Amino acid sequence: MRIDGTPYRTIWPDADGISVRVIDQTRLPFAFEIVRIATVAEAARAIKTMIVRGAPLIGVTAAYGLALAMREDASNDGLDRAVAVLAATRPTAINLRWALDRVAGNLRETPSHERFARAFSEAGRIAEEDVASCHAIGHHGARLLADLAKEKGRPITVLTHCNAGWLATVDWGTALAPIYVAHEMGVKLHVFVDETRPRNQGAALTAFELNGHGVPHTVIADNAGGHLMQHGGIDVCIVGSDRTTANGDVCNKIGTYLKALAASDNRVPFYAALPFSTIDWTLDDGVAQIPIEERDAREVTHLTGRLPDGGFATVEVVSPGSPVANPAFDVTPARLVTGIITERGVAEPSTEGLLALYPERRKAA
């Protein structure tokens, strides 16, 4: 997708062939900086500090991180250590584990002097597959949006939470891909963007993306969505996911569940958009089984923003001394989800619905 008219991906191999470059998402929307990642420690740090974030992009970065580790120590011990370091960076997004398993599985039988090259190209393949999946999600979801616009006979309104756009993947995004494709098709739509406290991925990143592509949108406080739905202001919700269980429970950024409850109460369709790498086939009860990342209290107690003189400042916003909790994700049970938009089409949020799209998993079960 584009920044100031220039096409970018969120991660790409550097010309030196031994490192990757990423967009530093902690600096957006006010500064555009590119960071070089040349070691497994730098890859782990980039994921942990959220220089890169979003489930699919975390997975691709971890895949490249494992490749870079093979330049430093290509032994089996080195491989195990690198997998452990990268897997520990963020616990909720399953794409991380999925990508590590795929790259590591490929390496076990590979002679150590070939491991770096093999892992680096496997990471590249994962990145390309992610782009193709997200683009396909865009086409399937855009069809839903086009049908809805036709049915309503007027421009439609879409609510989204967090950032599940191209910045959260390698390109295109998950929840935002249908919006981009529909916008390109000429479907008239307006996106309501939840600011998404505490880190404000909606206000900072989703709004930045939509601005860059000329998609009409309005940023709202997280608490405003229910009110808009009650007054007919939202036609459809589309969110991404960090992990979706085999029965269709959708784990996503904290606050998603509340939007799904409001959508259900107001009969607003609620879709999750995600690639196959986000489905955890080993789990069937998201609320009980998905590990929810607890992040630093400072994300709640402090806010960073731009000052009128262009400088940046971090300010305290919580009464000093009050205890703070910061769960980063929640789970929306399948019963509140209208459909799951995948690269293979739209699935019913149930075990049967997902298996109908992924019949090879039925054989594996």
Catalytic residue ranges: 242
Residue that has been written with the tokens 């609320």 in this structure: 287
Selected binder of ligand MRU within 253, 271, 330, 349 (CB under 6 A): 253
Report which secondary-structure segment, H or E, holds 280.
Answer: strand 279-280
Output the residue with the shortest Cβ distance to ligand MRU.
Answer: 240
- The single-letter code of the amino acid at 198 is P
Does residue 198 touch ligand MRU according to CB under 6 A? no
| 99 makes contact with ligand MRU (CB under 6 A) | no
Q: 35: part of which helix (H) or strand (E)?
A: strand 34-37
Q: Are β-strands 243-245 and 250-253 bridged in parallel, bridged antiparallel, or unpaired? A: antiparallel
Q: Which of residues 42-61 bind ligand MRU (CB under 6 A)?
A: 53-56
Residues 251, 331: contact at Cβ < 8 Å? yes
Nearer to ligand MRU, 100 or 119 (CB): 100
Whose Cβ is closer to ligand MRU: residue 91's or residue 240's? 240
Note whether 241 binds ligand MRU by CB under 6 A.
Answer: yes
**Cβ-contact 182, 225 below 8 angstroms:** no
DSSP sequence for 148-169: HHHHHTS-EEEEE-S--SGGGS
Residues in 146-165 at the binding interface with ligand MRU, rule: CB under 6 A:
162, 164
Choices 26-34, 70-78, 99-107, 168-176 (CB under 6 A): range interacting with ligand MRU: 168-176
Q: Which is nearer to ligand MRU, 245 or 252 (CB)?
A: 252
The C-alpha atoms of residue 295 and residue 250 are separated, in whole angstroms, by 20
Opening angle at CA 196, ends 191 and 197, nearest 5: 155
Give the shortest CB-310-to-ligand MRU separation in angstroms: 26
- Residues that bind ligand MRU in the complex, under the rule CB under 6 A: 53-56, 93, 162, 164, 168-169, 173-174, 201, 240-242, 252-253, 328
